[in-house]
Amino acid sequence: MCSECGCGHTKKILEVSSKILEENDLQAEKNREHFSRHHILAVNLMSSPGAGKTTLLEKTADLLRGEFRIGVVEGDLETSRDTDRLRARGVPVVQITTGQACHLDAFMVHEGIHSLPLEDLDIVFIENVGNLVCPASYDVGAHLNVVLLSVTEGDDKPEKYPIIFRSADLMLITKTDLLPYVDFSIERAVKLAKTVNPSIDVILVSSKTEEGMEEWLNYIKKRLGA
């Protein structure tokens, strides 16, 4: 009997230790296995809005054409603009339509996977929602997590948003063609990124001048086992 009010209830304290995002993590693991079974490299692209994810994918699609077949899971939830841009390049794209979500999770990506012609693909890029906070907490089941930081955003971002930089294998510093016009110290950005994540790799790219594109493509190809 409840000792406080004599109501006939018993109080019970349950010690558990359950990861709140466990379901997502399990699904993410399944996604990764799913991609691997199809010998596909899955790459998750994260950044603030407008850092250049879609432009990078357009360039990447052009430069890999004839060599590797890519598909895209598009997390632009508001419009189909990014999807249209990539389809115009002949890239198979599946757009996630989950309304106003601020991030992609493993379940959304799983749905996307089933609408892509996986047998025909070598690489699947996941363009996450433009946001430096929320996507960091969700494993979507990619093999490679990439965070883009454009030089117009400021070199202090790794310190301000450490969690997303910690979750990434690679930091792409983008729009390097604009370096002459902004006060962005590559050295400082890299130092801060390495502080929050000592094992993070760094590549500088410009989708406009194609500077660094070869290094980026080689980075991916190396992980394809190609």
Partner 1 sequence: MHEFSIVQNLLDLIERYARKNRAERVTEIVVSVGVLSGVEPHLLKVAFDTFKEGTVAESAELVIEIEKLDLRCRDCGKVSGLEEPRFVCPFCGSLNTEASGGDGLILKRLEMECHEGSAEGKN
Ligand X SMILES: Nc1nc2c(ncn2[C@@H]2O[C@H](COP(=O)(O)OP(=O)(O)OP(=O)(O)O)[C@@H](O)[C@H]2O)c(=O)[nH]1
- Residue 46: in which H helix or E strand, if any? strand 41-46
Q: Which stretch binds Mg ion (CB under 5 A): 15-23, 45-53, 131-139, 168-176?
A: 45-53
The residue (of 60 and 167) whose beta carbon lies closer to partner 1 is 167
The CA distance from 100 to 204, in Å, is 31
Separation of alpha carbons 73 and 86, rounded Å: 11
- Distance CA(190)–CA(91), nearest Å, equals 32
By DSSP bridging, strand 123-127 and strand 201-204 are unpaired
- Does 92 help bind ligand X (rule: CB under 6 A)? no
Neighbouring residues of 78: CB distance < 8 A, sequence distance ≥ 6: none
Choice from 56, 124, 192, 213 touching partner 1 (CB under 8 A): 192
Window 133-162: residues binding partner 1 (CB under 8 A): 133-134, 136-138, 159, 162
Q: How far is the CB of 130 from ligand X (least distance, A)?
A: 3
Contact with Mg ion (CB under 5 A) among 53, 59, 103, 175: 53
- Beta pairing class for 201-204 and 93-95: unpaired
Site for ligand X in 41-60 (CB under 6 A): 47, 49-55
Alpha-carbon distance of 223 to 200, in angstroms, equals 15
Does position 202 bind partner 1 by CB under 8 A?
Answer: no
Nearest Cα neighbor of 71 from 128, 116, 105, 38 is: 116
User: 72-111: which residues touch Mg ion (CB under 5 A)?
Assistant: 82
Tell me whether residue 27 or residue 60 sits nearer to ligand X (CB atom).
60
10-39 binders of partner 1 (CB under 8 A): 10-21, 23-24
Q: Which does 6 bind (CB under 5 to 8 A by kind): ligand X, partner 1, Mg ion, none?
A: none
The C-alpha atoms of residue 224 and residue 220 are separated, in whole angstroms, by 6
**Per DSSP, which regions of 75-182 are E strands?**
93-95, 123-127, 144-150, 170-174
Q: Which residues bind partner 1 (CB under 8 A)?
A: 1-2, 8-21, 23-24, 101-103, 105, 133-134, 136-138, 159, 162-164, 166, 191-192, 195-196, 198
Q: Which residues bind ligand X (CB under 6 A)?
A: 47, 49-55, 76, 82, 130, 174-175, 177-178, 206-208
